[in-house]
Amino acid sequence: MREFTPEYLEHTRRGMWESTAALDPLELESRERVVDVGCGTGELSRVLAAESPGEVVGVDADTALLSVAREHVPTVAGDATRLPFVDDAADLVVCQALLINLPDPAAAVREFARISSDLVAAIEPDNAAVEVSSTVDAEERLEREVRAAYLDGVETDVAMGERVGDLFETAGLEVVARRTYRHEKLVEPPYSEPAMESAAKKASGAGLADHERELRAAGADYDELRAAWREMGRDVVREMGEEQYRRREVVPFEVTVARV
């Protein structure tokens, strides 16, 4: 199972659901029991709990992440493909960035359908369609190169995006709504602490090391890539020191909602 740190999840989700319009088809205002599968640190669970009068329960296989989520919502440890709930236990079962990490996402969707009496929803990114622009030219080029190699070397469907609808239909669900939500992340002065940490990780090569296995599997020359990446990271840190650095990233998420 791919592992995530609480810091990574908090950093990548910061500000993500400041506008919740794309979540309208989840009918949160009328939900009585919501299960957020693969909730991690509960970044989405908190939004669901704020928008719904019902109870929100977070489920994840990683108990360290659940200890953070538990500060916000009740949690249960469990596997997405064998959910520890009886049939029809919830009226909405939802996940965010879970299916892209599973070797058998269809098995999880079947479980969602089993434990929901009404709606099933997934919010999944299309990592092949991420857009990056940066004042450091090499950053755009290297991120494009690393992303292409990662997509080649990774074993799960990390660019699933709108194909979630096909998974839902194969599980016998009726797709009732699809929305694209473009999550925009800006780095500009004054820089936040996480933005400076992220730049330092680029300069040390630590961020790239998280993907070493996939990059090598894709046949990339990892050592050469790492040297170029670190040089780019040093340019980012230098531009930050001069308050010149700006970066914009857009990650498209597909919100797919179905009825059982």
Ligand X SMILES: C[S@@+](CC[C@H](N)C(=O)[O-])C[C@H]1O[C@@H](n2cnc3c(N)ncnc32)[C@H](O)[C@@H]1O
Per CB under 6 A, residues contacting ligand X are 1, 4, 9, 13, 38-40, 43-44, 60-62, 65, 79-81, 96-98, 101-102
Q: Which two tokens stand for residue 21?
A: 């319009």
- Nearer to ligand X among residue 97 and residue 154 (C-beta): 97
Q: List, in sequence order, every beta strand (DSSP E) within 17-89.
A: 33-37, 55-60, 75-77
Residue 13: C-alpha distances to residues 32, 82, 163, 247, 251 (Å): 25, 26, 22, 16, 11
Q: Is the dihedral of CA 34, 125, 43, 65 positive or negative?
A: positive
Classify residue 205 by its DSSP letter.
T
Shortest spacing between CB 85 and ligand X, in angstroms: 13
CA angle 128, 133, 122 (to 5 degrees): 35
Output phi, psi for 151, to 5 deg: -60, -30
- Nearer to ligand X among residue 58 and residue 233 (C-beta): 58
Shortest spacing between CB 124 and ligand X, in angstroms: 10
Shortest spacing between CB 118 and ligand X, in angstroms: 21
Distant-in-sequence, close-in-space partners of 1: CB < 8 Å, separation ≥ 6 = 61, 62, 101
- Nearer to ligand X among residue 120 and residue 232 (C-beta): 120
- Nearer to ligand X among residue 19 and residue 223 (C-beta): 19
Shortest spacing between CB 78 and ligand X, in angstroms: 7
- Nearer to ligand X among residue 67 and residue 133 (C-beta): 67
By beta-carbon distance, which residue lies closest to ligand X? 40
Shortest spacing between CB 128 and ligand X, in angstroms: 16
